Structure 1
Amino acid sequence: MVEAEEAKAGFASSRLDMARFSLIMVFLVGQRWRYVIEKELEPDGITAKQWLMAIVVANGFKTPPSIQEVADALSNTHQNVKQIADGMEKRGFMRLWRDEKNKRIIRMQVTDKCIALFKDREEKDVQSIFSMFENLTDEEMGALFGIIAKIEHRASQLYENAKAARSGRVKED
């Protein structure tokens, strides 16, 4: 495979070429980091999807979210989130229950066992995160932080538009 620096040189001639290169690289980096994270989580018997879901459930909501809210946050299907959550519940990492006001809604919350796992992993996780970005200066890290936030915002808009189009609703930017 062509090295990233060599490929980058071939794509640097226009905004479209740079956007194509960046999109491809975002996908490749995501795949590679997922592989690394899976390997690091393997001894604890948790997958990258379970890890991400636990982080979102524990930190992304003020009150215990519904499965659909988590699915929306993860840009995933209700069915897929339910399947992952069921597996986590069987292993004691997630608690699922029916909403008291609307029994059709299933709420979810990480358990003390899940919180303990994250606490036990904290030092290893910090080292892993630092290693993923060790080739960036503090200034580059700050710039990346701002750029990623802008990219995520735009991705969220496009995702909502695609969902609306798929369901027959039209949504404007």
Structure 2
Amino acid sequence: MTGQGKRRYELDAAEARTAGKSAEAVRNFRLILFCSQRLRHLMDQHLRDENLTSQQGVLLSVVRARRKPTLGEVASAMATSHQNAKQIAAGLERKGMLRIVQDKADGRVKRLTATSAGSRGWEWRNASDFRMIGEWFSELSRSDQKTLRQLLKQLAKSLGE
């Protein structure tokens, strides 16, 4: 995948032959993976001063938006496993940004709630994050960004959103 002088997401001749009719799909898959890893890395760097990872930021955003969601709801919203969401939540709980509590109606169910430390500064944080994301996409015109969003929505639907 990393031939000399080639981008990580390109196919060499042998891979293209092996992929056959799926070659464009494989190129796109690799490019999406590359972009997702790069974007996650950039967001991790952006959040470093807040002592957060991008995954922790996503989890806190889901908790704030859904108001006391279950751990399962958070895992589903993050497209991750229950176990992974639980580990991320536990890290945020250790930082005092989140509380994991038992559901009052069903003690087997865990609900997540942001503490004041986990909620503090999000208006500023969102504005800063949104500006940074805008810069990352600045090479694409607004029209290109809308087209990209539509294409990614189609892909998400075909993957079983």
TM-score by length of 1: 0.77
Question: Runs (4+) of structure 1 moved beyond 4 Å?
Answer: none
Instruction: Give the partner amino acid of 1:80.
Output: N
Instruction: Give the partner amino acid of 1:100.
Output: K
CA distance in 1, matches of 2:123, 2:50: 12
Please list, as runs of the form range in 1=range in 2, the aligned pairs for 1:1-173 lying within 5 A after superposition: 1=2, 2-4=5-7, 7=10, 16-59=22-65, 61=66, 63-156=67-160
Instruction: Give the partner amino acid of 1:20.
Output: V
CA distance in 1, matches of 2:154, 2:114: 29
CA distance in 1, matches of 2:159, 2:61: 20
- SS of equivalent residue, structure 2 residue 159: helix
Shift of 1:7: 3.6
CA distance in 2, matches of 1:76, 1:129: 22
Instruction: Give the partner amino acid of 2:137.
Output: F
CA distance in 2, matches of 1:32, 1:16: 24
CA distance in 1, matches of 2:10, 2:112: 44
Give the unaligned 5+ runs of structure 2. none
Instruction: Give the partner amino acid of 1:21.
Output: R
Report sequence identity in percent.
Answer: 23
Shift of 1:137: 0.9
Q: Which residue of 2 aligns with 1:160?
A: none
- SS of equivalent residue, structure 2 residue 120: helix
Mean alpha-carbon deviation: is it higher for 84-93 or for 100-109?
Answer: 84-93
Cα RMSD between the aligned structures?
2.6
Shift of 1:155: 2.1
**Higher RCO structure, 1 or 2 (CA under 8 Å, sep 6+):** 2
CA distance in 2, matches of 1:124, 1:57: 19
Shift of 1:115: 2.4
Give the unaligned 5+ runs of structure 1. 158-173
